[in-house]
Structures are given as structure tokens and as C-alpha cells.
Amino acid sequence: MDRNIFQCIDINSKYCPCLLAETNQCVVCSHLKGDGTCNCNWAGVCILYEKHWQYKKQPQSDEIIKTRKEEEVNFVIKEQISENTYRLEMQVSNEFAEQLTSIGSFVFLRRPNDPHFFSFPVNIMKVENNTIQVVIETIGPKSLRIIADNNCKIVIRGPYWNGVLGQPWIDNLTYGKIILVAGGIGQAPGLPLAVNLMNKDKNNQVMTILAPGKVGSIFIAEELHQLGALVHIVPSLRKVGMPTLKKWIDQEKPDLIVSAGPDSQHYGVITAMQEAGVNIPMVATNNATMCCGEGICGSCLKKVQGNKEIRLCKQQTDFYNIMVD
């Protein structure tokens, strides 16, 4: 993967062309940005053509722009991981569940009677048939509302897919050696990454460094053991985990580093890599602030190297590009 590529995660999906294309803010198509020439560097189906074809084949009274759908479902608290951290389990439609098996899948959740601006993004931890699991921290007004007053109903909106930056490294690595670093709530998106990397067809070896973080608990170790991953638990990533990571990089010569946690953890991982003198690919969980998930609200806009701005709810890039001076 070219580290300077800023590819749209929705391109060529059923949600493309999207709302941004409708408002001439497409992140790929130069024509749908208002330019007079074609300069998109996209080898797939032409987005401009698809936009015009949608108008042509549908009556103007019908909805033309494909938007994500919402489902109202019941949920159960599968596990209370710590005082403010819960693993929730819910059943969705088969079509919805199938679309949440992709790397980096996440959804927006809210209580049914709450306004739409109560929706908040949550990574998908596990999908089995049409049952999905997520982990939430009830530390703010939006998340607290989910379980308040013995509530058991939730509105789930999705699917969204840009919860992980550097996804092509995950897709394409085979017979590789990977170090996965996961701290706190970052364990939730870390588990499906490990599952994908350890797919039997990929023949990868995964070593993990886990820390309880602010959650105060390790809750994916058993499942990682069952996958066949090497699990190493540390009390603190900053004090113990990063020195361990640097040592492992020196000894194991990994092909890929995966960081599942806050941005401060990602920076610590990059520092450990630099101190070890390696320049290898890195995958990082996407911690951008997201409100709509469609690139419209602008809350996820981030200035990157080259003085560009990208929408992190939709665009893939290497985490290194976000580290601007």
C-alpha cells in the first residue's frame, strides 16, 4: 500500500456515489469536486458515470442517494467487564450482519427514543451468524443512556467500515509475523483484527501485548489463546508494554505492527519502532471524532501531511500521514 494514498472506504460499494458526491464534495472524483478535468487515479467503475446513471434509471420522486439503514433491536448485557464497561450482544438482520464482517466495521448506536444526535460510533467486536457483539464504556451522556433505567432496546445504524487505518496491510499479509498491541477498550477492535490475521488461509503468526488500560481488565486473552496467538499481559503499556515491544521488534523482526487503542498509544508504538530502527507497516485503530459517519458533518476532518484535509470516517490512509508537525 502506498502510504500517501487517501482512498475512500465506500468506493465501489452499494453506498457509492454517496452524499458527498451529491454535493460535489466527493473525496475521489475530480469532476464531483468541481474540477473540469478527470484526475481521480481510480481504475474501477467511474463514480461520475454511476451518479448520472442513478438519476437516469430512477424516477426523480424516488430516493436516489443510498444511505445507511437503521434497525431497532433488543440487546442483552453479555458481560460487565468493569464498572463502566459492558459487552453487549444483539441480533440484527442477516443482510446487516453480513456487511459487518469486514475489517474495521463499526456502527452508530442510540436509545430508540433519543434524538439522532445521541448516536455514537462503536467498533464491532464479533459477528456470529446474525448476532453481533460490541463493547461500550458508559462514561458520557450518550453511552450512559444505552443502559439507563434497565433499557434493553437500541437503534443500530450502519454498516460503516473505516474503523481501522491501514486495512490493505491486513488484507494482503500472508505467512507473516505480526505484533498486536491492544490496551483498554482497544481490545475490542483488536480481537477481530487478530481473527482476520490468523485465518488459516493466511498462515500468519500473531504475538500480542495486552494491557488493561482505563478499563482495568483484560477481556480478550482467552479468545486469543483459542486462536493460537501468543498472549503477553503487562500492567501498563507505557511503562512495560513499549519496552517489551521494542525488544520483540529487535528479536522477532515482525512484518507488521498493529496498534489497537488511543492515539497516544499509536504514537508510543511508532516511537518504539523508530528506536528499534525499523520502518515496517503499521495498522492503527481510527480514533477520529465522528458524528454522522458520512463525511458530511466535518467532525472527522484531519489535516495530514502535504497540507491536505481528509475525512477520517471515510478515507483510508497510513497513520504516519496523520502525524503532522
Is 315 within a domain? Answer: no
Phi, psi of 162 (to 5 degrees): -100, 35
Phi, psi of 93 (to 5 degrees): -65, 155
* In contact, 86 and 77? CB cutoff 8 Å: yes
Closest CA to 319 of 241, 257, 272, 247: 257
Closest CA to 225 of 213, 243, 241, 207: 207
On whether both 168 and 142 belong to a single domain, the answer is: no
On whether both 250 and 186 belong to a single domain, the answer is: yes
**Grid cell locating 175:** 505467512
Task: Kindly report the CATH number assigned to the domain that includes residue 148.
Answer: 2.40.30.10
Per-residue pLDDT of the chain (325 residues; tens, 9 = 90+): 555 567 899 998 989 999 898 888 999 999 898 888 888 878 888 998 888 776 655 555 455 566 899 999 999 999 999 999 999 999 999 999 999 999 999 999 999 999 999 999 999 999 999 999 999 999 999 999 999 999 999 999 999 999 999 999 999 999 999 999 999 999 999 999 999 999 989 999 999 999 999 999 999 999 999 999 999 999 999 999 999 999 999 999 999 999 999 999 999 999 999 999 999 999 999 999 999 999 999 999 998 887 889 999 999 999 988 875 5
Residue 107: HSE in the Cβ half-sphere, 13 Å Cα cutoff: 29
On whether both 224 and 128 belong to a single domain, the answer is: no
Exposed, middle or buried: residue 218 (CB in 10 Å: 0-12, 13-18, 19+)?
buried
Is 309 within a domain? Answer: no
Q: Provide the residue range defining the domain that includes 226.
A: 164-293
